Amino acid sequence: MKIELNDLEDFARGAAFLGTGGGGDPYIGRLLAKHAIKEYGNPEIIEPEDLADDALVFAIAMLGAPTVLVEKAACGDDIDLAIDKLSKRLGRRPDALIPIEIGGINSTIPIVASVRNGIPLVNADGMGRAFPEIQMVTFNVYGYPPTPLSIVDEHLNAVVVDAEDAKTAEDLVRSVAIQMGLSVMTANYPVSGAVVKKYAVKHTLTLALEIGRAISHGRTQGEPVNSLLSYLESTKYYKHCKILFDGKIVDIKRETTKGFSVGHCRIDPLSGVGDSVEIIFQNENLVAKINDKLIAMVPDLICVVDRETAEPIPVEALRYGQRVKVIGASVPPVMRTLEAIKIFGPRAFGFEEDYIPIEDISP
Amino acid sequence: MRIGVDVGGTNTDAVLMDGRNVIATKKTPTTENVSDGIVDAITSVLVQSATPSDKIQCVMIGTTQFTNAFVERRNLVEVGVIRLSLPASRGIPPLTDWPDDIRAVIGDNMHMIRGGYQYDGRINSELDEKGILAAARQLKAKRIKAIAISGLFSPINSAMEERAEEIILNEIPDSIVTLSSRIGRIGLIERENAAIMNASLADLSIKIVSSFRQALGDLGIMAPFYISQNDGTLMKAEFVEKYPVLTFASGPTNSMRGAAYLSGIENAVVADIGGTTTDIGMLMNGFPRESSLTVDIGGVRTNFRMPDILAIGLGGGSIVNTEGALRVGPQSVGYKLMDDAMVFGGKTLTTSDIAVAAGYADFGDPALVKGLSPKIVSGAVTRIHEIVTEGIDKMKTNADPVPLILVGGGAVLIDRDIPGTSEVITHEHGGVANAIGASIAQVGGDIDRVVSYDALGRDQALAEAKEEAIEAAITAGAEPGSVQVVDIEEIPLSYVPGGSVRLRIKVAGDLNLDNIARAGK
CA distance readout (Å), B303 to A287, B105, B120, B185, B309? 32, 22, 21, 7, 14
pLDDT at B449: 75
For testing the chain B interface, which of A6, A67, A173 should be mutated: the one with the most B CBs within 10 Å? A67
pLDDT band at B518 (very low <50, low <70, confident <90, very high): very low
pLDDT band at B122 (very low <50, low <70, confident <90, very high): confident
pLDDT, one tens digit per residue, over A201-228 is: 999 999 999 999 999 999 888 789 999 9
> Do residue A176 and residue A234 come from a single domain?
no
Report the b/e string of B88-120 with b at 16+ CB within 10 A: bbbbbebbbbbeeebeebbbebbbbbbbbbbbb
Which has the closest alpha carbon to A354: A303, A298, A282?
Answer: A298
Specify if A208 maps to a domain.
Answer: no
pLDDT band at B397 (very low <50, low <70, confident <90, very high): low
CA of A289 to nearest chain B CA: how many angstroms apart? 22
> Is the Cβ–Cβ distance between B83 and B199 less than 8 Å?
no
pLDDT band at B402 (very low <50, low <70, confident <90, very high): very high
pLDDT at B495: 47
> Do residue A198 and residue A296 come from a single domain?
no
Instruction: Name the helix (H) or strand (E) containing A339.
Output: helix A338-344
The answer, yes or no, to whether residue B383 has pLDDT greater than 80, is yes
| Chain A interface includes B293 (CB < 8 A) | yes
Read off the CATH number of the domain in which A21 is found. Answer: 3.40.1610.10
Angle between helices B188-200 and B202-218 (to 10 degrees): 50
For chain B, percent of residues with pLDDT exceeding 70: 95
pLDDT, one tens digit per residue, over B175-206 is: 999 999 888 777 899 999 999 999 999 999 99
pLDDT at A205: 97
pLDDT band at A253 (very low <50, low <70, confident <90, very high): confident
CA of B22 to nearest chain A CA: how many angstroms apart? 36
| Chain B interface includes A290 (CB < 8 A) | no
pLDDT at A248: 86
Specify if A217 maps to a domain.
Answer: no
pLDDT, one tens digit per residue, over B441-465 is: 888 888 877 787 777 888 888 899 9
The answer, yes or no, to whether residue B260 has pLDDT greater than 80, is yes
pLDDT at B235: 82
DSSP bridge pairs for B491? B502
| Chain A interface includes B495 (CB < 8 A) | yes
What's the rounded mean pLDDT across residues B315-333? Answer: 88
Contacts of B496 in chain A (CB under 8 A): 65, 67-68, 178, 182
pLDDT band at A249 (very low <50, low <70, confident <90, very high): confident
Lowest mean pLDDT among A24-33, B21-30, B229-238, B368-377: B229-238
Residue type, A258: K
| Chain A interface includes B118 (CB < 8 A) | yes
| Chain B interface includes A72 (CB < 8 A) | yes
pLDDT at A60: 96
Specify if A323 maps to a domain.
Answer: yes
pLDDT, one tens digit per residue, over B412-447 is: 899 999 998 999 999 999 989 999 999 988 888 888
> Do residue A39 and residue A82 come from a single domain?
yes
pLDDT at B520: 37
Specify if A219 maps to a domain.
Answer: no
The radius of gyration of chain A from alpha carbons, rounded to an integer in Å, stands at 19
Contacts of A174 in chain B (CB under 8 A): 495
- CA pseudo-torsion sign B44, B46, B52, B57: negative
> Do residue A113 and residue A174 come from a single domain?
yes
Specify if A22 maps to a domain.
Answer: yes
Helix (H, G, I), strand (E, B) or coil at A234: coil
> Do residue A10 and residue A88 come from a single domain?
yes
Mean pLDDT over each residue of chain A, to the nearest integer: 92
pLDDT at B59: 93
pLDDT at A308: 80
What's the rounded mean pLDDT across residues A54-83? Answer: 88
How many CB atoms lie under 10 A from the CB of residue B514?
9
Which has the closest alpha carbon to B41: B26, B61, B62?
Answer: B26
Task: Count Cβ–Cβ pairs < 8 Å, chain A vs chain B.
Answer: 114
Interface contact flag, A322 B399, Cβ < 8 Å: no
Residue of B nearest to A317 (CA): B293
Residue of A nearest to B395 (CA): A321
pLDDT, one tens digit per residue, over A112-141 is: 999 999 999 999 999 999 998 889 999 999
CA distance B427 to B420: 21
Instruction: Name the helix (H) or strand (E) containing B361.
Output: none
| Chain A interface includes B396 (CB < 8 A) | yes
The answer, yes or no, to whether residue B295 has pLDDT greater than 80, is no
Sequence-separated (6 or more) residues with CB below 8 Å from residue B77: B145, B146, B199, B200, B201, B202, B203
Sequence-separated (6 or more) residues with CB below 8 Å from residue A126: A59, A98, A99, A100, A101, A137, A138, A139, A189, A200, A201
> Do residue A230 and residue A198 come from a single domain?
no
Segments forming the whole domain that contains residue A239: 226-360
Residue of B nearest to A155 (CA): B87
Interface contact flag, B152 A71, Cβ < 8 Å: yes
Contacts of B92 in chain A (CB under 8 A): 28, 31-32, 35, 73
CA distance readout (Å), B371 to B342, B361, B367, B444? 11, 17, 8, 54
Which residues between 81 and 110 in chain B have a beta carbon less than 8 angstroms from any beta carbon of chain A?
A: 85-93, 96-97
Interface contact flag, B397 A320, Cβ < 8 Å: yes
| Chain A interface includes B394 (CB < 8 A) | yes
> Do residue A9 and residue A83 come from a single domain?
yes
DSSP bridge pairs for B176? B146
| Chain B interface includes A117 (CB < 8 A) | no
What's the rounded mean pLDDT across residues A295-309? Answer: 93
Among the partner residues A31, A32, A72, nearest to B88 by beta-carbon distance = A72
Q: For residues B455 and B70, which has the higher predicted lDDT (pLDDT)?
A: B70
Contacts of A265 in chain B (CB under 8 A): none
> Do residue A44 and residue A108 come from a single domain?
yes
CA of B1 to nearest chain A CA: how many angstroms apart? 42
Which residues between 311 and 330 in chain A have a beta carbon less than 8 angstroms from any beta carbon of chain B?
A: 317, 319-323
CA distance A6 to B8: 36
Residue type, B210: S
A61: left (phi > 0), else alpha (psi -120 to 50), else beta? beta
Specify if A212 maps to a domain.
Answer: no
Among the partner residues B91, B118, B497, nearest to A36 by beta-carbon distance = B91
What's the rounded mean pLDDT across residues B232-261? Answer: 87
pLDDT band at B339 (very low <50, low <70, confident <90, very high): confident
CA distance B365 to B381: 19
Interface contact flag, B293 A317, Cβ < 8 Å: yes
pLDDT at B499: 66
> Do residue A156 and residue A269 come from a single domain?
no
> Do residue A198 and residue A241 come from a single domain?
no
> Do residue A168 and residue A252 come from a single domain?
no
Neighbour order of strands in the sheet with B11-18: B21-29, B11-18, B2-7, B58-63, B225-228, B234-236
Contacts of A66 in chain B (CB under 8 A): 494
Residue of B nearest to A324 (CA): B394
CA of B223 to nearest chain A CA: how many angstroms apart? 43
pLDDT at B368: 94
Interface contact flag, A260 B494, Cβ < 8 Å: yes
pLDDT, one tens digit per residue, over A169-182 is: 998 998 898 888 88
| Chain B interface includes A357 (CB < 8 A) | no
pTM of the predicted protein model: 0.82
Lowest mean pLDDT among B159-163, B184-188, B207-211: B184-188
Number of domains in chain A: 2
> Do residue A134 and residue A262 come from a single domain?
no
Residue of B nearest to A322 (CA): B394
Residue of B nearest to A35 (CA): B92
Specify if A216 maps to a domain.
Answer: no
Interface contact flag, A155 B90, Cβ < 8 Å: no
What's the rounded mean pLDDT across residues B108-137? Answer: 93
Residue of A nearest to B123 (CA): A181
The answer, yes or no, to whether residue A271 has pLDDT greater than 80, is no
Residue type, B107: G
Q: For residues B68 and A54, which has the higher predicted lDDT (pLDDT)?
A: A54
pLDDT band at A321 (very low <50, low <70, confident <90, very high): confident
CA distance A114 to A98: 9
Specify if A146 maps to a domain.
Answer: yes
Instruction: Name the helix (H) or strand (E) containing A247.
Output: strand A241-257
pLDDT at B519: 42
Read off the CATH number of the domain in which A293 is found. Answer: 2.40.390.10
| Chain B interface includes A64 (CB < 8 A) | yes
